[in-house]
């Protein structure tokens, strides 16, 4: 059973944005957050699912719909069969929207790390949210 102490310890390691909630503590080489629970290390997104959504059947794995390996937002977490995940492993989309969202997430994290730059970062975020302010370069092969 997850205690309030576990929940507080978990939530201290998260920076929440309007979209993803990203894990700021230990990560694997692949970028998946790791959390220690009951003396064992487990993926942070799996713990998040247990904490906010409930039990996970043995034949299921927790998948991040947003394809951000460090995201622990319970609204982004779904259960899938292992075979479904393997089929789509190489089908992860990296697109302009994902790059844009990653940039915003990085800036949100930077605000926490560098509070002295908070006002400047907020101005940058507001400016880049307006599509006309973003320089787009298309490179053709």
Which pLDDT tens digits describe the chain residue by residue (141 residues)? 899 999 999 999 999 988 999 899 998 888 889 999 999 999 999 999 999 999 999 889 999 988 888 899 999 999 988 766 555 554 555 556 667 778 888 898 999 999 999 999 898 888 877 666 555 545 454
* Neighbouring C-alpha atoms within 13 Å toward the C-beta of 8: 3
The SS3 call for residue 101 is: helix
Residue 116 has a pLDDT of: 93
Residue 23 has a pLDDT of: 92
Token pair 């400047």: residue = 120
Report pTM.
0.62
Tell me if 124 sits within 8 A of 104, measured CB to CB: no
Residue 137 has a pLDDT of: 45
Distance in angstroms (rounded) separating the CA atoms of residues 138 and 89: 27
Residue 141 has a pLDDT of: 43
DSSP-H helix ranges across the chain? 4-11, 44-52, 82-87, 96-113, 118-128
Strand partners, 61: 80
Can you give the residue ranges of every domain in the chain?
4-91, 96-133
Phi, psi for residue 129 in degrees, rounded to 5: -75, -15
CATH code assigned to 4-91: 3.90.75.20
Residue 104 has a pLDDT of: 84
36: CB partners within 8 A, 6+ apart = 42
Distance in angstroms (rounded) separating the CA atoms of residues 53 and 63: 13
Token pair 């975020």: residue = 125
Residue 139 has a pLDDT of: 46
């Amino acid at each position: 059973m997850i205690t309030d102490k576990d929940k507080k310890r978990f939530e201290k390691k998260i920076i929440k944005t309007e979209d993803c909630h990203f894990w700021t503590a230990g990560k694997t080489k692949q970028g998946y957050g790791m959390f220690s629970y009951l003396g064992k290390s487990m993926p942070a997104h799996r713990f998040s699912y247990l904490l906010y959504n409930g039990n996970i059947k043995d034949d299921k794995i927790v998948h991040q719909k947003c394809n951000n390996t460090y995201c622990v937002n319970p609204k982004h977490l779904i259960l899938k069969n292992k075979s479904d995940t393997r089929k789509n492993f190489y089908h992860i989309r990296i697109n302009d929207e994902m790059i844009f969202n990653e940039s915003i997430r990085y800036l949100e994290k930077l605000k926490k790390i560098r509070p002295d730059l908070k006002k400047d970062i907020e101005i940058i975020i507001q400016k880049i949210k307006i599509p006309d302010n973003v320089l787009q370069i298309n490179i053709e092969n």
